[in-house]
Structures are given as structure tokens and as C-alpha cells.
Amino acid sequence: MADQAETTTYRTCPLCEATCGLEITLAGDRITKVRGDDADVFSHGFICPKGASLGDLHADPDRLNAPLVRRDGELREATWEEAFAAVAERLGPILEAGDRNAVAAYLGNPNIHNLDGQLYPRVLLKALGTRNVFSASSVDQLPKQVAVGMMFGTGLSVPLPDIDRTDHLLMLGANPLASNGSLLTAPNMRGRLRALRERGGRLVVVDPRRTRTAELADEHVAIRPGTDAHLLLAMAHVICEEDLVDLGDVADHVEGLERVRELAARITPEQAAAMCGIEPGTIQRMARDLAAAGRACVYGRIGTTTQRFGTLASWLIDVLNVLTGNLDREGGAMFPRPAAGAANATGTPGRGKGVTTGRWTSRVRGLPESFSELPVVALTEEIMTPGEGQVRALITIAGNPALSTPDADALQQAMAGLECMISVDPYLNETSRQADVVLPPPSALYRSHYDLAFYQLAIRNVANYSPPSLPLPEGAMPEWQILLRLAAIVAGQGTDADLEGFDELVARTLIGRETAMAESPMHGADPDEVLATVAPRTGPDRLLDILLRCGPYGAGLGSGAAANGSPARLTLDLLEGEPHGIDLGPLAPRIPEMLRTASGRIELAPEPIAEDVDRLEDSLGEDPEQLVLIGRRHLRSNNSWMHNLPTLAGGPERCTLLCHPDDADRLGLADGGQARVASRVGEIEILVEVSDEIRPGVVSIPHGWGHDLPGARLTVAAERPGVNTNVLTDQQAVDPLSGNAALNGVPVTVAPA
């Protein structure tokens, strides 16, 4: 093997939101080296340990190379034909009984990092026709999407901190030095935050834990978990009361300012202080600093969304951006203008349908739909509660809900009782071990890549396409074809439907939407001509080419032109010729053109959100002494699914209970000892790590651990399994506006084990 010629290829890392360019050295189908691509127009050579381990992920011997089908209680290797026959056999009768809602689907996080996963699950879901669609969104960013959806009209119109040009960044509930940024695509966050400070800017981090990001900041404010909305509303209170409101350039486009003033009056800095565990004077100063800073922005991430006031906190972050005149200006909070697939860059500029949630609700608890999904906290009860519409089968795609969603024990028990479960996943993990059929997609190196979602969240306008780095091995099936095959089966077309024809139909549906839209560069075009223009591409590449051509920099039916620096006319051919990406420039103001609200205005006080301030007021006076649990992330980890790589798994035990020395004394816990942690729903035993980096009254456990379940095949991970913190989190603890799980701020008791 050693004499195999080495080749170099460039591709975007699919492992987190930073979208770093990688330079990959290959010998045959072996990855011999991965480094940061110095010529990448966005990441300029930055890489983290996870990206560097892509070769190990690719070569992991535990990765499944063939489908598995359960026979006589055991999962055994099968051919694709056998596997799809088993799907049809087990799912068919359930669908034929006439209730489409009997089949649920759960979509996990890696779908967003995968072009196939962006474009083809929706084909399957449409064919399924079920309302029981769940995803990792509702244990993640859904509250932010609900808030910005109501304010700006589409679910990915998230104002991003313009970190490269701001003078003042107030960051809440985020630790980009571990996570590499989220709802904030910006490779090399450490470098960018350092640069902010070096040019005289100020970084303030609000986090119950003194994280590495907090250590880099000018100021760390150790807030009590779950009280960000109190803090932010009190800051708005100060800004309104001290006449510091200045909407700046968006002033003519804002609706609801008076309503916001009225709401802000309801919580004073003193009242918030008691909840947040922050001095009233600090809250006042934080508000004044924000208002006085030249170019400032507020940014919040998972600590602010996965909590019981998630939508309120997410909304208030942008309320502050607006009140201080920082929305949509350089150095403030800005919107990208992405090259493909952005709902706020298609259709009529400045006006749209807006976002309405709760168009239907979950059967058992009545939790609201948003973006055509139901909150995953409802999945267990939908499986367990008999009656019409009961979930009897589940399809998981790139997800591990058995570890990643609340009250995991209850969900696993529910899954065990399903009549049929199908997992599309490269690993036999804690979730897929319960499946009847496991359909493994090939490694990321075998597919093309384009970040449809993350370029909608990037601090520069960038477009970068990676073709497959390797030809598909024999016996492998591309993920989009797996999903199409499943779609054909649930659509009643059997197991041998013509996938090419089906895929052309998918392309024609997209083309139909574009040719019908007055603003599209393909308006009125003949669909056959469009198909001929993008031929001979098929699958996700064909859809991407259409999306790029119809996007704001698109070539329409013409040929591509221009590259870095000049106005581009994008096609996929053109992008393919630029392996290091195309820089489409820094973010520029987009209001009012990007708005898609029904009013055509920024809805500063959407009524459903405004009404929830009652609940915030009601919470004043709750017991601040209650011990609560939060999560955390580690740089060398990726939710639940990269603990199987020896290169990342080394070092000290990471799945520990972080606990402040004062609490450890009070509770009788010793560093290195074992603790028993109990919540309303569950109990675990875990190694104690005493550290003053965590605030008193708060303990922290990372999620994604607990790799000791029978039937999984994760050899390395099983050696140091850790424990599953989601045994403790509670399906009843939700942010009511979004139905998102409150994974942070969970009341717990802790005792020595």
C-alpha cells in the first residue's frame, strides 16, 4: 500500500458549523493527512482536532459497510435488496392501515452538514405525509428560529454578530472556543475574538461557567441558569428608562416599539438581579455599555435557547440589537446574503407570509408545531399513548435521540415497543441498536458537499462546493438514494421503483417553483430547458446547481462568470473550478429587502412572545437556592457520535459532574469521588470534578455519553462510556412557545454515591 501515489484534494469539513476548508492527502482510499487549507477563502488554514480526525472517522472499523436487518431478534448483515424488502414488509401494513401519522420520523443534527441530508429527507417526509416529524432542532435552536421567524419572517433570518468589525460583543450561553461557533459560521473564533480585543473592542461573556471563551473576555458575568430573559429585559428596561433608545437606520421599518417599552417597564434591574444572581449595578452598567458602544452586538446560543424561557431570551437578544441601533449595520448584528437556498433571498423582496407556529399541535399534550415539526419532547408519549394517531413506527435519519433527548430512558423503553424502527446511520449506536433495519450511508468523503444552511448563518458571504473526494466503493449506496428508495416505498411504489425518474420529478418540482416565481431568474422558462442546462448532473448536485443559478448571484440559464472579488454569476460548474471557495464579500445591510413578514416590517413585539412576558414576571420570587444542572461541550467531542475515535478519545475523563468547591463541601462531595445525581425523572452516578470555574448552585454534565448499552457497536467509545445526562432531563420541562426542551437549569439533588 505504501507505494500508492498520493493525491491532494480539498473539501469543506462536515463536522461543525465553522465550515473550514481541509486539505486532504489520499493514498488510494486511505486518508494519510488532513490539514487546514491555507487557500480557503473563509477559514485561511484554520483547523481543529475534530477536522484533523476526519481520516479516522472515514476508516473507523466500526462503521457499517452493509445494511443490517433484524432476524430472530438479532441484527444481521443483509443486501440492500433484502433490507428494502424488510422495510416494505414491516412498514407497509402500518401505512396500509390508513393512518399516516402512525409513522414518525426523527432527523438528527448531521443532516444539516450533509447536502443529501438537506435536500432528500423532505422528499421522504412528503411521501410519508405524517405530522409526527421530530428533529434535533427542538433540543437546540428552535426558540431562536421561532423568535426570528416572527420578527423577520423566515426561520433562518438570524442576526449574526459582525465580529470582525464590532467594538462590543455581548455573548450569552455560548462557548465558541469549544463549539467553534453555532448559528454563527465563522472559522477560527479564537482568532476573531482576540482580534476584537486587540483592536480595542470589548467582549462580555454571560455564562454560569468560566469557560475558555469567558477567560478570553474582558468581563465574565456568571449568571444563574435560565435567567437570561430576566437579565435582557432588565437591560431593555434601563435603555428605555434612561432614554438610550436609538433605532438607527432601521427606525422606519420597526413595528411595536411602544409595546416593547411597556414590557420592559415590567422588570427592573433589582428584580432581575435577585433572579440572575447579578448585581443590579452590573445590569445597569451592561445596558449602558451596550448603548454607548460605537458598533455593538448581542449574540446568544445554546445556553439561551435550551431553557424554559428560550424564545423570550432569543427574542430579547435581537430586541436589544434593535433598541441600540445595531441591527443591520456594520459591526452590529447583520444578515448574510447567501448564494443558494435562502428563504429571505427568494420571492418578493421585503414582504412574505411570515412565520406562524401552532398550525397543528401534538396529539397527546397539544404542543405547537413550528416549521412543520413537532417538539421531540412529545415523541415518547406519542408512542406510548394508545388511540388514533398513535406512533407505531419510527424512522431515524442521522440522529441519536436515545442519548440526545430528554428522559432518554423513557424514550428507549418506548422505542423498544415500536412495531417497526428504521435507522439511516453509519453506526450501530444507542439508537440504531433498537432498529429493525439499519441503512448505512457511505462516509462523507464519497459525497459532494455544500453548506446550504451554514452559509445562511455565516459572517461573510461565501460559496464553496466540494465534489466527492473518492469514487463510491462497490456495495455502497449514496444517502440521497437511500432516502429516495425509502420515499418510493412509503409512497406505495414498492421496492423497485425507478429512482432516476423519481429524482427527475424532485428536480422538476424545484424547477416548477422557480419558473412560476416572478422574481426568479428562471421565471417563465421551459422546465425541459432548465433540465437540459443542468444536465448531466443528477441528485443533490442537480438541485444545488438550480438553487445556485436562481440565487442572488446566480447565472440563471446562462453560463457562469467571474470569480473572487468581482460580481459573480454562479453555477455549479463555476464553483467546481474554485476548490478553495468564492468570497462574495463582507455582510452588507439588507433591511428592508430581506424582510418576509406579512406587514413588511420588523415585528419588534410579536404578540405571542409579548404575552409570554407574563410567565417571566410570574417567575420572579422563585427559590434562587435550588441546585440546577447545565450542560457543556468539549473541543474534542461532537454530540454523541465521535467518541469512537482513538485520536479524540484520549486524555482525562470528560464525562464528569463539575461542581463548585462550596457546593462540594456542603454536599460532602470529593474531587475524584462518585456522586449520585437525581432529578424528577431519573438518577445517575457520575465522577465528581470540583472546580471554581462553575458558579455555586450549579452543576454541569456534558451530553452525548452513556455508551454502555447492549447491542451498540462502538468499540472505542464503550471503553470509556460515561453516563447519559439526558436520563436526568425532563420531557415536561419546555419553553412553551417553541416546545423546545429545557435542557439547562434542571433542578437536581446531588449526594455522595
Ligand X SMILES: Nc1nc2c(c(=O)[nH]1)N[C@H]1C(S)=C(S)[C@@H](COP(=O)(O)OP(=O)(O)OC[C@H]3O[C@@H](n4cnc5c(=O)[nH]c(N)nc54)[C@H](O)[C@@H]3O)O[C@H]1N2
With binding defined as CB under 6 A, does residue 125 bind ligand SF4? no
**CB of 364 vs Mo ion, minimal distance in Å:** 25
According to DSSP, residue 742 is labeled -
With binding defined as CB under 6 A, does residue 180 bind ligand SF4? yes
Pick 35 or 71: Cβ nearer ligand SF4? 35
Distance, in Å, from the CA atom of 583 to the CA atom of 562, rounded to the nearest integer, reads: 11
Residue type, 544: L
Is the Cβ–Cβ distance between 305 and 147 less than 8 Å? no
With binding defined as CB under 6 A, does residue 679 bind ligand X? no
Pick what 15 binds: Mo ion, ligand SF4, ligand X, none; C-beta below 5 to 8 Å, kind-dependent. Answer: ligand SF4
Is the Cβ–Cβ distance between 101 and 132 less than 8 Å? yes
Helix (H, G, I), strand (E, B) or coil at 463: strand
With binding defined as CB under 6 A, does residue 193 bind ligand SF4? no
**CB of 686 vs ligand X, minimal distance in Å:** 13
Helix (H, G, I), strand (E, B) or coil at 96: helix
Distance, in Å, from the CA atom of 584 to the CA atom of 568, rounded to the nearest integer, reads: 8
With binding defined as CB under 6 A, does residue 43 bind ligand X? no
Question: What is the footprint of ligand X within residues 426-455 (CB under 6 A)?
Answer: 426-427, 429, 441, 444
With binding defined as CB under 6 A, does residue 50 bind ligand SF4? yes
Distance, in Å, from the CA atom of 259 to the CA atom of 603, rounded to the nearest integer, reads: 11
Pick what 143 binds: Mo ion, ligand SF4, ligand X, none; C-beta below 5 to 8 Å, kind-dependent. Answer: none
Q: Give the CA angle between residues 623, 628, 629 to the nearest 5°.
A: 165
- Out of 331, 336, 368, 399, the only residue in the binding site for ligand X (CB under 6 A) is 399
Pick what 629 binds: Mo ion, ligand SF4, ligand X, none; C-beta below 5 to 8 Å, kind-dependent. Answer: none
Can you give 102-163 as a three-state secondary structure string? HEEEEECHHHHHCHHHHHCHHHHHHHHCCCCEEEHHHHCCHHHHHHHHHHHCCCCCCCEECC
- Out of 15, 68, 302, 323, the only residue in the binding site for ligand SF4 (CB under 6 A) is 15
With binding defined as CB under 6 A, does residue 175 bind ligand X? yes
With binding defined as CB under 6 A, does residue 544 bind ligand X? no
With binding defined as CB under 6 A, does residue 591 bind ligand X? no
**CB of 256 vs ligand X, minimal distance in Å:** 25
**CB of 62 vs ligand X, minimal distance in Å:** 10
Of residues 106, 141, 107, 109, the one with CA closest to residue 740: 141
Q: Give the CA angle between residues 179, 181, 183 to the nearest 5°.
A: 125
Pick what 307 binds: ligand SF4, Mo ion, ligand X, none; C-beta below 5 to 8 Å, kind-dependent. Answer: ligand X
- Out of 48, 172, 544, 698, the only residue in the binding site for ligand SF4 (CB under 6 A) is 48
**CB of 697 vs ligand X, minimal distance in Å:** 12
Pick 716 or 743: Cβ nearer Mo ion? 743
Pick 185 or 314: Cβ nearer ligand SF4? 185
With binding defined as CB under 6 A, does residue 648 bind ligand SF4? no
With binding defined as CB under 6 A, does residue 47 bind ligand SF4? yes
Pick what 20 binds: ligand SF4, Mo ion, ligand X, none; C-beta below 5 to 8 Å, kind-dependent. Answer: ligand SF4
- Out of 332, 352, 368, 631, the only residue in the binding site for ligand X (CB under 6 A) is 631
Pick 180 or 311: Cβ nearer ligand SF4? 180
Pick 562 or 647: Cβ nearer ligand X? 647
Distance, in Å, from the CA atom of 428 to the CA atom of 232, rounded to the nearest integer, reads: 43
Q: Which stretch binds ligand X (CB under 6 A): 300-308, 409-417, 452-460, 461-469?
A: 300-308
**CB of 259 vs ligand SF4, minimal distance in Å:** 40
Which three three-digit cell numbers place residue 433? 441498536
Distance, in Å, from the CA atom of 154 to the CA atom of 371, rounded to the nearest integer, reads: 10
With binding defined as CB under 6 A, does residue 31 bind ligand SF4? no
Give helix 280-292 / helix 228-241 axis angle, nearest 10°: 60
Pick 368 or 442: Cβ nearer ligand X? 442
Distance, in Å, from the CA atom of 24 to the CA atom of 8, rounded to the nearest integer, reads: 6
b/e burial code for range 280-318 (CB count within 10 A of at least 16 → b): beebbebbebbbebebbbbbbbbbbbbbbbbbbbbbbbb
Distance, in Å, from the CA atom of 484 to the CA atom of 715, rounded to the nearest integer, reads: 31
- Out of 10, 20, 42, 734, the only residue in the binding site for ligand SF4 (CB under 6 A) is 20
Pick 201 or 375: Cβ nearer Mo ion? 375
- For 670, phi and psi rounded to 5 degrees? -115, 140
With binding defined as CB under 6 A, does residue 18 bind ligand SF4? yes
Please state the length of the chain: 753
The residues near 390 (Cβ < 8 Å, ≥ 6 apart) are 102, 363, 382, 383
With binding defined as CB under 6 A, does residue 643 bind ligand SF4? no
Binding marks (x or -) toward ligand X, 694..733, rule CB under 6 A? ---------xx--------------------xx--x----
Q: Which stretch binds ligand X (CB under 6 A): 424-432, 532-540, 583-591, 677-685?
A: 424-432
Pick what 491 binds: ligand SF4, ligand X, Mo ion, none; C-beta below 5 to 8 Å, kind-dependent. Answer: none
- For 480, phi and psi rounded to 5 degrees? -65, -30
With binding defined as CB under 6 A, does residue 639 bind ligand X? yes
With binding defined as CB under 6 A, does residue 136 bind ligand X? yes
Distance, in Å, from the CA atom of 168 to the CA atom of 219, rounded to the nearest integer, reads: 11
- Binding residue count for ligand SF4, defined by CB under 6 A: 12
The residues near 19 (Cβ < 8 Å, ≥ 6 apart) are 12, 13, 42, 43, 185, 187, 451, 454, 455, 458, 462, 464
Helix (H, G, I), strand (E, B) or coil at 449: strand
b/e burial code for range 61-76 (CB count within 10 A of at least 16 → b): ebbbebbbbbeeeebe
Pick 23 or 479: Cβ nearer ligand X? 479
With binding defined as CB under 6 A, does residue 207 bind ligand X? yes
| Residue 592 Cα to chain centre, angstroms | 26
Pick 151 or 424: Cβ nearer ligand X? 424
**CB of 21 vs ligand SF4, minimal distance in Å:** 9
- For 423, phi and psi rounded to 5 degrees? -120, 130
Q: Which stretch binds ligand X (CB under 6 A): 135-143, 337-345, 549-557, 594-602?
A: 135-143
Helix-, strand-, coil-residue percentages of the chain, each rounded to 5: 35, 20, 45
Distance, in Å, from the CA atom of 705 to the CA atom of 643, rounded to the nearest integer, reads: 8
Distance, in Å, from the CA atom of 172 to the CA atom of 206, rounded to the nearest integer, reads: 5
With binding defined as CB under 6 A, does residue 635 bind ligand X? yes
With binding defined as CB under 6 A, does residue 53 bind ligand X? no
With binding defined as CB under 6 A, does residue 16 bind ligand SF4? yes
Pick what 18 binds: Mo ion, ligand SF4, ligand X, none; C-beta below 5 to 8 Å, kind-dependent. Answer: ligand SF4
State the residues that interact with ligand SF4 by CB under 6 A: 13, 15-16, 18-20, 47-48, 50-51, 180, 187
State the residues that interact with ligand X by CB under 6 A: 16, 108-110, 114, 136, 139-140, 172-176, 178-180, 182, 206-209, 211, 223, 225-226, 228, 301-304, 306-307, 397-401, 404, 424-427, 429, 441, 444, 479, 630-635, 637-641, 703-704, 725-726, 729, 743-745
